[in-house]
């Protein structure tokens, strides 16, 4: 499994990095929307929405919301990121609220109409703000620098995920959330935190941060890693409710699109807001 996981990553990572660094923001937003909506399609399955017509309508509704935000952000003087920034802040508040959901394992677990509606709303609240934060980071400043900052944000999550995986396998003893995700350990969390912060500092320099800004970059990286853990645990909770191991089998060794996005969904709004507040 580790070999398959590595080979798949070696194929996906260069394509993702090239898109982040070289695509203009409007094209990158469109590409990211396709990926995020693919993850949302898998989310519908976890929410027990199996009818293809219903899922298509729900997907179209979320796409319409994204298009409407882009349309509302256009003006005669150019594109404004204010609306996307506000939605990103809402996303941070949402993921803090998810912490309460994680404490109550059985909430919305029975898959009746009430639970399904809650999980569908949760899907929109999880994916749309992350997409807004991604666009904000990628296009909110000088092109070369902002593109590199998005690469840094995603690199933090990727490094944390790998660090947690290998640290957990080698050193893991104490369970982090045994009822939600039995394989996750406190040692893995620490390993992921260290890997994410180190990667954040290194990529922060690549993105143009000064030496004086590096402590703030490290703090933002740590915040992003912790939020990514919340996103990862939340998807694990939904999969436990649905009785499945992965959101799909689309990516060899990695599961589905949503399995690759879970940590990113929570980390991107957190990093974007932290970057703005900390001023780098």
Per-residue model confidence as pLDDT tens digits over 238-279:
999 998 888 877 766 567 899 999 999 999 999 999 999 999
The pLDDT of residue 137 is: 97
Q: How far apart, in whole angstroms, are the C-alpha atoms of residue 255 and residue 5?
A: 10
Q: Are 242 and 202 in contact (CB under 8 A)?
A: no
pLDDT band at 52 (very low <50, low <70, confident <90, very high): very high
The percent of residues in the chain predicted with pLDDT above 90, rounded, is 78
Residue 10 has pLDDT above 80, yes or no: no
Q: Are 184 and 176 in contact (CB under 8 A)?
A: yes
Tens of pLDDT, residues 54-110: 999 999 999 999 999 999 999 888 899 999 999 999 999 999 999 999 999 999 988
The pLDDT of residue 113 is: 76
pLDDT band at 4 (very low <50, low <70, confident <90, very high): low
The pLDDT of residue 112 is: 75
pLDDT band at 2 (very low <50, low <70, confident <90, very high): low
Q: How far apart, in whole angstroms, are the C-alpha atoms of residue 57 and residue 161?
A: 33
Domain enclosing residue 8, as ranges: 2-278
Tell me which residue of 91, 254, 278, 90 sits closest to 200, measured CA to CA. Answer: 278
How many structural domains are present in the chain? 1
pLDDT band at 127 (very low <50, low <70, confident <90, very high): very high
The pLDDT of residue 222 is: 98
Q: How far apart, in whole angstroms, are the C-alpha atoms of residue 57 and residue 231?
A: 25
How much is the mean pLDDT over the chain? 93
Residue 220 has pLDDT above 90, yes or no: yes
In the numeric block, which tokens belong to residue 203? 């990529």
Residue 5 has pLDDT above 70, yes or no: no
Return the bridge partners of 271, or none: none
The pLDDT of residue 76 is: 84
pLDDT band at 49 (very low <50, low <70, confident <90, very high): very high
Kind of pairing between the strands at 78-79 and 181-185: unpaired
The pLDDT of residue 3 is: 64
Residue 61 buriedness (CB in 10 A; 0-12 / 13-18 / 19+): exposed
Cα dihedral value 127, 132, 137, 142, nearest 10: 150
CA atoms within 13 A on the CB side of 218: 10
Task: Determine how many CB atoms are found less than 10 A away from the CB of residue 30.
Answer: 12
Q: What is the pTM of this model?
A: 0.93
pLDDT band at 42 (very low <50, low <70, confident <90, very high): very high
Angstrom CA distances, 19 to 135, 251, 261, stand at 13, 19, 16
Q: How far apart, in whole angstroms, are the C-alpha atoms of residue 52 and residue 98?
A: 28
Tens of pLDDT, residues 154-183: 999 999 999 999 999 889 889 999 999 988
Report, as an integer, the average pLDDT of 221-242: 96
The secondary structure of residue 110, as a DSSP letter, is S
Residue ranges of the alpha helices (H) in the chain?
Answer: 2-22, 25-46, 52-72, 82-103, 113-139, 143-171, 186-207, 214-242, 257-278
Q: Are 180 and 237 in contact (CB under 8 A)?
A: yes
């Amino acid at each position: 499994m580790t070999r398959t996981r590595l080979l798949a990553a070696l194929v996906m990572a260069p394509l993702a990095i090239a898109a982040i660094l070289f695509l203009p923001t409007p094209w990158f937003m469109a590409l990211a929307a396709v990926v995020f909506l693919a993850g949302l399609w898998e989310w519908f399955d976890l929410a027990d929405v199996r009818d293809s017509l219903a899922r298509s309508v729900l997907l179209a509704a979320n796409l319409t919301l994204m298009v409407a935000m882009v349309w509302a952000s256009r003006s005669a003087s150019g594109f404004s990121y204010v609306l996307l920034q506000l939605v990103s802040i809402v996303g941070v508040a949402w993921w803090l609220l998810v912490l309460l959901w994680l404490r109550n394992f059985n909430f919305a677990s029975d898959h009746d109409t009430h639970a399904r509606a809650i999980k569908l709303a949760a899907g929109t609240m999880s994916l749309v703000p992350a997409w807004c934060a991604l666009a904000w980071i990628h296009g909110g400043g000088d092109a070369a620098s902002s593109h590199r900052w998005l690469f840094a944000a995603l690199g933090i999550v990727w490094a944390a995920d790998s660090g947690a995986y290998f640290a957990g396998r080698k050193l893991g003893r104490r369970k982090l959330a045994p009822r939600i995700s039995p394989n996750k350990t406190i040692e893995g969390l620490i390993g992921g935190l260290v890997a994410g912060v180190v990667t954040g500092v290194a990529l922060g320099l690549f993105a143009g941060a000064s030496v004086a800004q590096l402590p703030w970059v490290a703090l933002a990286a740590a915040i992003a890693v912790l939020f990514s853990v919340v996103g990862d645990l939340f998807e694990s909770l939904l999969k436990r409710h649905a009785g499945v191991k992965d959101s799909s089998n689309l990516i060899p060794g990695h599961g589905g699109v949503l399995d690759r996005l879970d940590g990113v969904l929570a980390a991107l709004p957190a990093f974007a807001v932290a970057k703005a507040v900390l001023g780098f």
